[in-house]
Amino acid sequence: MNPFALKGEIALVTGATRGIGRACAKALGEAGAAVALGCRDMQAGADEAQALRDAGINAVAVQMDMMSIESIEQAVSMVETELGPLSVLVNNAGHSRPAPAMEVKTGDYDAMFDLNVKGAFFASQAAARKMATRGRGSIINIASQAGFVALDGESIYCMTKAAMIHMTQCLAVEWAQHHIRVNAVAPTFIRTDSTKGWLENEATRNSLLARIPLRQIGEPENVAEPVVFLASNAAAMMTGATLKIDGGWTAV
């Protein structure tokens, strides 16, 4: 039996219509899981779900506003109605609003914590309530190397990702009794639509590469593949861990 296979698993990926979320949904599906794409934009979600189905993956889109606890709970219930018992949650939805610490506005502060931390917590809660009744589950949080190091102009984002990493440990300990594993991954800069502008600037790109011992920018697939590992039985004894996918940035 292949311990990395996910046949029979039902996975929900938040923020799944682009970048890392899209790559995670695809990788989980290719490993055998049925996949629900949590999204605010249902048209984009429907298009992505159709693309996955065209590739032979059982996929659906579900409306999911991570700023609304009601929407989160409804989405989790919809996944179980559409696909079956939820067994894997990937908390990918998140964003950053860069600003010098002295210029951060309260609205931006609240928005980042509401999405990156509060949304991930209550999505985990909603999923864990379902998983606990069946005595199994895997939750994977998409954190960041920013949870371990300071990034200039990203103080609030760094704080939210540090909170997510510690939340991972807290939930792992509390939910171990239900055999729900909670882990995280912490990527460096990944080539996505949201980082495209930065990476197209040669000076910025070179500055980033100088901080990464492997001297390369990550691709979404570099994050998705460890997520599949954490979702699988190959990681059956892992909980409360955060895997750094940073090319060595935080080791320097």
Q: Is residue 210 situated within a structural domain? A: yes
What's residue 3's pLDDT? 96
Residues 159, 163, 165: CA angle, nearest 5 degrees: 120
Residue 246 counted as domain residue: no
177 found inside a domain: yes
Nearest to 62 by CA among 40, 84, 85: 40
On whether residue 101 sits in a domain, the answer given is: yes
Name the residue with higher pLDDT: 96 or 1: 96
Per the domain annotation, does 248 fall within a domain?
no
Tell me what pLDDT residue 111 has. 97
Total structural domains in the chain?
1
Give the number of residues written for the chain: 252
Let me know if residue 204 belongs to a domain: yes
pLDDT band, very low/low/confident/very high, at 196 (cuts 50, 70, 90)? confident
Lowest mean pLDDT among 40-49, 180-189, 194-203: 194-203
| Residues involved in catalysis | 157
Report the CATH number at residue 177: 3.40.50.720
pLDDT of residue 129: 98
Is 120 part of a structural domain of the chain? yes
Please give the residue range of the domain that contains residue 203: 10-241
Q: Is 82 exposed, middle or buried (0-12, 13-18, 19+ CB in 10 A)?
A: middle
